[in-house]
Structure 1
């Protein structure tokens, strides 16, 4: 088959991009003719994979979004692919993977606790209007054969906001590579972090992710400020830190918050920490949360993270209903302050995560692709 995959660009730090890179390799290995449609692509170079650069208007942002979608449409029309699989809100695709969830739902949650002026600007911002227009047109396009959501909540959001037939939406949870660390690896990682950051026996709390505002870094900082026992909070990921450093300083805990920036050795933090804290406002399915569980960390997250569907409160982590409730997050941390209980919960978290492999994800994704291919071939023969 001649299969096109659409994503704006590749970065080794992006979960969706890593997902697409694996999908590209898998499809090519099965003998498909794979085409990547993107602004730029620096992912794995695989035999049988073709790259189609999309020309865009870079500024302003709303025009970039629209010109990318229009550029993709031109390439799709010229090439006549058998299947178009998009990870972006574009104008023409057979399958859309809603890995970023619903933008409209994110805007709703983004405005929690905000005033009327802030809400008005959100909904009148040209960039947001462009995204909403693209999203609505895409989800209501009769040519869209299937949608892959990465959580049940994501599926429910699409149905509720856009009236999509539930039968067209397939839930395929994200997958990660299996990890089975030995205790000796954990000990080495703890020692490495202790040496690098001058740590003692403090409780080590970990956040991993980019998009600090959306994913609740400020709430995490306010939550740990309520703790009495010694701790350190690692903030691992790409993002502007000045606002959050000032917040920590106002709360008198600037020496307890460690901003590391993006790290290629993030597994050392998973192995060398105690609890994963991820109070996100909105995340359809956080890969970092699943990775933390796989490495044996109990997690604290919110109901707006798709991974919450895998959490059994008090068994392998906790789910907070209000993403702005720093008191509730602090309480969850306190419930895991006892090492033996925390380690038991971490073991349960690892057992839960072990079922969600990349192989399972690819298998279920390919099943959707094959189903749509078969239906298109049948429709062509019947015409």
Structure 2
């Protein structure tokens, strides 16, 4: 039985998008007959999974994200020297992996993409924090035996910023839990809207994300006064002061209920390797407006399940108004991504891994 080591500071259900992906990889690897070990500071699994995996905990003390990152790298490298394994799979920027999965933003691109002025962007390349991250990213990508991008955009960015590694980069599309996210739930839309205190006339736009600046929330907020009065914006994952038309939900556990009541999901992100929000919303039967910088945009069929915006304020406003005039079919929205199952994703990963 071959042993796979997964490495990321946190891996587990309910800990974040990439962290949950790592958890699903763990469970699927076990299902496919692999032995699995995890190097992390924190994991979160049901007890039956915990009983099957080897956990190599890292304890980190100190302040500052870069110091903690550096300490994590050093301790993880020490652990790898004393344990036996066949493959090192890293959904995290970690040098020397057999398979590097690009589920975090590419720093080279993100620094240029950040909504800041030209001078600040250039200075970012000189700051110790970003220089450290860029060096780790470069070493991780160049030293990996093979690389997985989650969507076409990820491989295109590799071609642009790390062209020498393009030939060893492959695409495995992320999967979804279609039991949790499915268009059947839309049958409860009217009932849930009433339970949540909204009227039938309210047009509900949902934004969800823990990094509001990168996800483009300020741009969306700046449009609210220009949209019809019946439009209300629900903001999940962020705390703030609510008004009659802007409702901050904070961190919520059952996001699928909000996909159900939403008429439109809007994610004007400045950069997402592949936004799970886009895919979850579509799977739930909700149309989506996302940006040209979301890897998941390749599944948007304009006018059929949503629109793609170039992030110009006028363009985003027009796309929202267009969406409000369309009666989207929840089942068609969901059908556009039915091929994105977790089994398809893991089989793709295993196929690439077996070729090393």
TM-score range, shorter chain: over 0.9
Displacement of 1:314: 2.0
2:10 match: 9
Q: Contact between 1:187 and 1:272, CA under 8 Å: does it hold in 2?
A: no
2:291 match: 302
1:100 match: 104
Structure-2 separation of matches of 1:43 and 1:210: 22
1:288 match: 277
Task: Count residues in correspondence.
Answer: 350
Displacement of 1:42: 2.1
Displacement of 1:13: 4.2
Structure-2 separation of matches of 1:165 and 1:61: 28
Structure-1 separation of matches of 2:34 and 2:89: 13
Displacement of 1:176: 0.2
Unaligned runs of at least 5 residues, structure 1? 246-253, 373-383
Higher mean C-alpha deviation, range 169-178 or range 218-227: 218-227
Unaligned runs of at least 5 residues, structure 2? none
- 1:129-148 to structure 2, matched below 5 A, reads 129-141=131-143, 144-148=144-148
2:57 is the counterpart of 1:53: yes
Structure-2 separation of matches of 1:235 and 1:135: 32
Mark the CA change 1:113 to 1:64 in structure 2 (over 3 Å): closer, same or farther. Answer: closer
Structure-1 separation of matches of 2:130 and 2:78: 24
Q: Tell me the secondary structure at the aligned position of residue 140 of structure 1.
A: helix
2:292 is the counterpart of 1:337: no
Q: Which residue of 242, 265, 273 maps to 2:262?
A: 273
Higher mean C-alpha deviation, range 302-311 or range 54-63: 54-63
2:126 match: 124
Q: Contact between 2:146 and 2:169, CA under 8 Å: does it hold in 1?
A: yes
Deviations 1:326-345 (A, max 9, x none): 2211111111222xx3323x
Q: Tell me the secondary structure at the aligned position of residue 68 of structure 2.
A: helix
Give me the CA root mean square deviation.
1.9
Deviations 1:284-340 (A, max 9, x none): 10111101001111111111001111112222211112x3x22211111111222xx
2:339 match: 355
Q: Contact between 1:283 and 1:305, CA under 8 Å: does it hold in 2?
A: yes
Q: Contact between 2:183 and 2:331, CA under 8 Å: does it hold in 1?
A: no
Q: Contact between 1:101 and 1:149, CA under 8 Å: does it hold in 2?
A: no
Displacement of 1:189: 3.9
Q: Tell me the secondary structure at the aligned position of residue 304 of structure 1.
A: coil
Q: Could you tell me the TM-score, scaled by structure 2's length?
A: 0.92
Displacement of 1:57: 4.4
Q: Contact between 1:62 and 1:126, CA under 8 Å: does it hold in 2?
A: no
Q: Which residue of 84, 87, 110 maps to 1:80?
A: 84
Displacement of 1:187: 4.5
Structure-2 separation of matches of 1:202 and 1:364: 42
Q: Contact between 2:305 and 2:328, CA under 8 Å: does it hold in 1?
A: no
2:152 match: 152
Structure-1 separation of matches of 2:321 and 2:240: 26
Structure-2 separation of matches of 1:91 and 1:78: 17
Structure-2 separation of matches of 1:120 and 1:160: 18
Q: Could you tell me the TM-score, scaled by structure 1's length?
A: 0.86
